[in-house]
Amino acid sequence: MSTLVEPGEFYELLGENDIDVFAGVPDSLLQDFAAYVESAASADRHIITANEGNAVALAGGYHIATGKFAAVYLQNSGLGNTVNPLLSLADEAVYGLPMLLIIGWRGEPGTEDEPQHVTQGRLNNPLLELMGIEYAVLDPGSWREQVDWAVAQLRELSKPVAIVVRKGVFGKFASAERSTTLTLKREDALEAIIDAIDPSDFIVSTTGKTSREVFEIRERRGEGHSQDFLTVGGMGHASSIALGMCLGTDRRVYCIDGDGAFLMHLGAAVVAAQQHRENFRYVLVNNGAHESVGGQPTVAFGIDIPAILIAAGFSGVETVREPADLPAAVRRLADSSGTALVVEVAQGSRADLGRPTRSPAENKFDMMREFQGGAPQ
């Protein structure tokens, strides 16, 4: 009996049951399965959505048009983005839209995980039960029967059904290599940004490897962390956190966002731009990928981000691709209220990249003391 579920076999069995459209937001626990889907499915059968709620809506539309089912894959932290469309659209008391939810179970009780996943992991299955969603925890010994059960439930109940995936259940499948002409590394870009801003300025860095790199840069330089908010959860909300800070201080606050997070809650950057806060600064680091959870692509290199930011209300947007151009661009951003900076970087990070050793609560209290008059460290 196999101790792993092979991604290709899982994908093929779903296809045999008319589940031939896949949509969602990548997750590290599902990265091997998602990599297989990306390699096997055509572009119109696999859509990486801006957020998980979009994927639920897409799956609902596909069912209405075809009578078939789509699979929606997500990390359980994204369940929050799905609650509204699951309950107000897909629920059997409303439209009754069946779809298969494939959920990566970060923070499963009894396993070690990052702080932002602990509560979500504990509440994962109770939340599904509360929403009336039938589910099975994927078992390598009986996964085929579980898929058969899930499909039967979709047909019988005409509502979403979930398969919950523990860490390490899927076998390995490598993502295809992506070529790029970009040479600037994100960590080098972040260090150049920290070099160029005023020592009294604050930073709010987006979730994932960006915040991990900001932390390690400060550690390497022997600097404190009281002026950096390392957003370890809440993907897509860094710009709103930064805007909120701007309401309480006259010092500059730099939001260092990522392309996946920017796309997930695009309206947040629009609102921040429309507020025209003199001390708000926006930097979007774009590597065209959900790197922290497997490197699956975003649409960021296929759209005109500067034009979107200008339309949102930023008075000017500069794009930087070359390492030598970044310091001067950051200084221009510092001196120009209402502008934004887009930094295009190559995908990739150090193999030995660590995680913050300060807890989220310690990070918060460090910053609160700084806001209340502590000297810059």
The candidate with the shortest Cα–Cα distance to 28, out of 239, 237, 172, 178, is 172
Torsion angles phi and psi, residue 75, rounded to 5: -80, 150
Report pLDDT for 374: 56
The candidate with the shortest Cα–Cα distance to 335, out of 201, 187, 186, 192, is 201
The Cβ of residue 232 has, within 10 Å, a number of other Cβ atoms equal to: 20
Q: Evaluate whether the domain defined by 186-371 bears CATH number 3.40.50.920.
A: no
Fold match, 7-165 / 186-371 = yes
pTM for this model (two decimals): 0.92
% helix, strand, coil for the chain, step of 5 = 45, 20, 35
Instruction: Please name the residues in contact with 189: beta carbons below 8 A apart, sequence gap of 6 or more.
Output: 285, 323, 326, 343, 345
Report pLDDT for 2: 65
Secondary structure (DSSP) of 177-234: P-------BHHHHHHHHHHHS-TT-EEEE-TTHHHHHHHHHHHHHT--STTEEE--S-
> Which CATH superfamily groups domain 7-165?
Thiamin diphosphate (ThDP)-binding fold, Pyr/PP domains (3.40.50.970)
Give residue limits of the domains in the chain: 7-165, 186-371
The candidate with the shortest Cα–Cα distance to 264, out of 207, 307, 318, is 207
| Per-residue pLDDT of the chain in tens (377 residues, 90 and over written 9) | 468 999 999 999 999 999 999 999 999 999 999 999 999 999 999 999 999 999 999 999 999 999 999 999 999 999 999 999 999 999 999 999 999 999 999 999 999 888 889 999 999 999 999 999 999 999 999 999 999 999 999 999 999 999 999 999 999 998 776 777 899 999 999 999 999 999 999 999 999 999 999 999 999 999 999 999 999 889 999 999 999 999 999 999 999 999 999 999 999 999 999 999 999 999 999 999 898 887 888 999 999 999 999 999 999 999 999 999 999 999 999 999 999 999 999 998 888 999 999 999 999 999 999 999 854 44
* Residue 71, beta-bridge partner list: 22, 100
Report pLDDT for 340: 97
